[in-house]
A and B are shown apart, each in its own frame.
Chain A
Amino acid sequence: MSNIEPISSPIPYTRGNVEPLLHEVVHALDRLLEDDEATVIDLASLPFGPGELDQLEERLGIGELTAELNALGQSIIRETAYPGVWWLEHRNTEGDIVGRYIEITRAPEILMSQDADIGAGRAQLGDNLERAGPGNENGADNEPRPN
């Protein structure tokens, strides 16, 4: 069996989805600048040929900012080489990709702290403070102290 060479995924044609999709991104950037309208492109809804997705990722490049989100598995939120164009990859707890998107926006919604989480966090912080008590203010010397 060892003499059978696996056929690597060929990039068999150039007339694929990458070019038109990039044009779509350009139009989306126009809309963002002119009307402040954000666009989300769900890459799962497009029929990519083998290798095309990598091609797309390569064409968009890597920009200044990459964020990692840990919620129900890892997610990567990365600004591409083109500001305002974001590459989002959601994985589940197994590490399988469950969604890929290009967002054309100033900052993807998911980067924002969510009100529900802020509320929960605030409550948590309040609880913590209460539990610690006022007398305990100097108790933890090694804790960083906000100025």
Chain B
Amino acid sequence: MSSNQFDLESKRLSIKEPEIRYDKQGDLSDEERVQKAMANFAKDFGSTAAVYLDSCIHCGMCADACHYYVATGDPKYTPIWKLEPFKQAYKREVGPFALIYRLLGLKKKVTAEQLQEWQHLIYDSCTVCGRCSLICPMGIDIASLVAMARNGMFEAGLVPHELHAVAERAEVDGSPLGVTPKLFEERLEWMEDEHEVTINIDEEQADVLAVISSIEIQKYPDAMAATAKILNAARESWTFRTDGFEATNFGMMSGNVEWQKNTSMRIIDAAIKVGAKLVLLPECGHAYMALRWMGANIYGKPLPFKVQHISEYLADSLNSGKLKVKKVDKSVTFHDPCQISRRGGATQAPRDVLKHLCTDYREMPGGGDYNWCCGGGGGVVTILRADKLRYKVFKLKMEQVEATEADTLLSSCSNCRQNFDDCQSHYDWKYTAESLLELVAENLEEANA
């Protein structure tokens, strides 16, 4: 597993070898890094992961689903290859024939060098979008394995610097972008004035606890006003809480289970404190995965409240007539955030919303659950050295969007939008990814107000 694995295709590689550097945190010895990587890889290890790692038949089909492979043609981006050291470790340490493998020395111990090399594959070139999980003829959920591998990598101190920094900040400050409760409150007040909308902050009791992404607070603050408008229009008893507002979970993205838990618990505690029946997640993909599907497991028992993504809430409210919108007179296409649609199962919700909102909805070719990822998820957008690759991969998305010839591109994930914005300026592209939530809020009919 030395670097000659990459020599096969170095000629065609768009990213030249020297650019693939790796980052280290802490001053652990190589031995300790490997030890920690494996121990923490195994932490969540159960029969599910074992089934997956034991089932791969090396058919290589996952490569055809991965935007990194499709965009570059570089075989190292084959999704299952990104797990090679972990597969090796599994067979050697955990699998049913582990003893045989160890005794006969059939599988070597994973080396620190290997892990360093794989940092690029596990972080820079995987958005955990799960498209490969849908192509696998063995039904292996490869994306979930990458998430597990990240747990190991984090503990080994082998995370890309930027991602580690962001995650650390989220743990220390409660927000990856350094949004303190005080700053949050200021931003809310500013929005209240700007949009002339009542925003409930730190109510003692509320049926709905709305949370928000730092990306929105800092980059798309209108989302806060839009959320308030909608909840007001729906006459919900709702609130934002300064002690539990951050929906993003960089602990999860970087692979720190402890930090992931702390982040989630802030929301869960706040929701319980206000007696919320519903926690309303903002336009953020991974927040949905973190709380909707992983929250209860982190809590250790079923959550005492429902968790919904804002698009689900909008769909329900529009379907039931609780909210009403004016039709928008332009053609619209929708980019599905992977964690909400493909991985999260809420694919139908935005389409229901758009049924009410516009007359000319255009599905992207191969869209919906099989949508190309924007290329910025899974923390990739934070990693500087991955930029070139990220731009390259974005071309797939551009083609998909352009094929619809729609006037407007919508999405329901601020992380996606952030990546769209960055790539838009890189390519001087005509499309801007706009917020589904904000478009709904702009077109609310105040009929029942």
Q: Do chains A and B touch in the complex (CB under 8 A)?
A: no
Interface residues of chain A, those whose CB is within 8 Å of chain B, are none
Interface residues of B (CB under 8 A from A): none
